[in-house]
């Protein structure tokens, strides 16, 4: 069933040139698109079996083009479990992009900062994650056609790709924290003070509602991936301020330019 759906989506998109890098743009993070020489924009609802973005801050289209000489597919808008889709649906585009030939996956997201060293608007390269979501995108995929049944996760984020991102950030003069540990929660509510305290205790630096399902699937597909979080709110349990999605999007917007410059510089080298 899922394999058939992937085939149908791929066959719908197959006339486009093979892309080398897949990019998933997180909440409020769309400026990378201005670095792409766009060949074609395809709304998700036109693509067989693609879910539709239900979140207003996510545009919901696939963008085909080049950054430098590198052919890319960018997802302007991603899918989240809290929207009501299954884990297999939210990670469907990753499988489709892999079948379309991508060799690298870059992901961005807006996330809460648990680590006291992070402030709003900072960008953080992920090194690892803790999956606290209540479901798994590999559940039930018992056929070897999907990849390993028990994928190794000892290095979920590709160290070489991470190094290229760090070098690009340094060359552009943009500070990027390293070694971030991302805790993935289901959402859509934000966390309580006690939950932020718990996340800090278990070793999380960042918390968000996305990315990890996509990274799990990328690892099953043996697709090297890297992810960068933008810190949109400071999750200090002893001094917690109410936060709204509007504020999260606004803060993401302030960091969008530097994140996009880093991604564009990296993609053009891949």
* Helical segments of the chain, H only: 2-13, 87-90, 92-99, 159-172, 193-201, 212-220, 245-269
Among 29, 209, 225, 264, contact with ligand HPA (rule: CB under 6 A)? 209
Question: Measured from the CB atom, is 99 or 249 closer to ligand HPA?
Answer: 249
Residue 65: closest CA among 249, 243, 264, 233: 264
Per-position x/- string for 76-115, each x denoting binding to ligand HPA as judged by CB under 6 A, each - no binding: ----------------------------------xxx---
State the minimum distance, in angstroms, from the CB of residue 61 to ligand HPA. 22
Distances (CA, A) of 232 to 3, 208, 235, 252: 37, 10, 10, 6
Cis (ω within 30 of 0) for the bond into 212?
Answer: no
CA 52 distance to own-chain centroid = 16
Which lies closer to ligand HPA via its Cβ, residue 57 or residue 232?
A: 232
Q: How many positions of this chain bind ligand HPA (CB under 6 A)? A: 13
We find the least distance from the C-beta atom of residue 221 to ligand HPA, in angstroms, to be 25
Distance CA 204, CA 180 (A): 8
Q: Select the residue whose beta carbon is closest to ligand HPA and give its number.
A: 112
Kindly tell me which of 135 and 163 has the beta carbon lying closer to ligand HPA.
135
- Kindly tell me which residue out of 96, 169, 190, 264 binds ligand HPA, with binding defined by CB under 6 A: 190
Return the residues of window 126-185 that contact ligand HPA according to CB under 6 A: 185
The answer to whether residue 227 forms part of the interface with ligand HPA (CB under 6 A) is no
Quick one: which of 127, 191, 256, 261 contacts ligand HPA (CB under 6 A)? 191
- Which H helix or E strand runs over 106? strand 104-113
20 Cβ contact list (under 8 Å, min separation 6):
70, 71, 72, 101, 102, 103, 104, 270
Residue 83 CA from chain centroid, whole number: 16
Q: Which of residues 228-257 bind ligand HPA (CB under 6 A)?
A: 232-233, 235, 248
Q: Find the shortest distance in angstroms from Cβ 133 to ligand HPA.
A: 12
In whole angstroms, give the CA distance from residue 260 to residue 153: 27
Q: What residues does 184 pair with on adjacent strands?
A: 131, 208
Exactly one of 208, 213, 224, 253 binds ligand HPA (CB under 6 A); which one?
208
Residue numbers at the binding site for ligand HPA (CB under 6 A): 110-112, 185, 190-191, 207-209, 232-233, 235, 248
């Amino acid at each position: 069933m899922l394999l058939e759906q992937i085939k149908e989506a791929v066959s719908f998109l197959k006339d486009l040139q093979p892309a080398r890098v897949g990019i998933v743009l997180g909440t409020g993070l769309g400026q990378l698109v201005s670095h792409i020489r766009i060949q074609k924009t395809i709304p998700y609802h036109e693509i067989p079996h693609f879910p539709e973005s239900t979140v207003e801050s996510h545009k919901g289209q696939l963008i085909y083009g080049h950054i430098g000489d590198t052919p890319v597919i960018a997802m302007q808008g991603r899918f989240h479990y809290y929207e009501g889709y299954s884990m297999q649906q939210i990670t469907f585009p990753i499988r489709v992009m892999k079948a379309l030939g991508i060799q690298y996956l870059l992901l961005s997201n807006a996330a809460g900062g648990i680590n006291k060293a992070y402030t709003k608007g900072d960008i953080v390269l992920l090194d690892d994650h803790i999956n606290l979501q209540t479901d798994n995108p590999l559940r039930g995929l018992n056929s070897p056609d999907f990849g390993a049944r028990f994928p190794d996760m000892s290095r979920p984020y590709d160290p070489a790709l991470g190094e290229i991102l760090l070098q690009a950030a340094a060359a552009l003069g943009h500070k990027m924290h390293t070694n971030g540990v991302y805790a993935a929660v289901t959402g859509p509510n934000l966390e309580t003070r006690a939950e932020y305290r718990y996340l800090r205790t278990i070793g999380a630096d960042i918390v968000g509602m996305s990315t990890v399902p996509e990274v799990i699937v990328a690892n099953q597909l043996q697709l090297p991936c890297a992810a960068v979080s933008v810190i949109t709110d400071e999750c200090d349990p002893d001094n917690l301020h109410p936060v709204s999605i509007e504020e999260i999007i606004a803060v993401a917007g302030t960091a969008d330019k530097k994140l996009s410059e880093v991604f564009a510089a990296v993609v053009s080298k891949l």
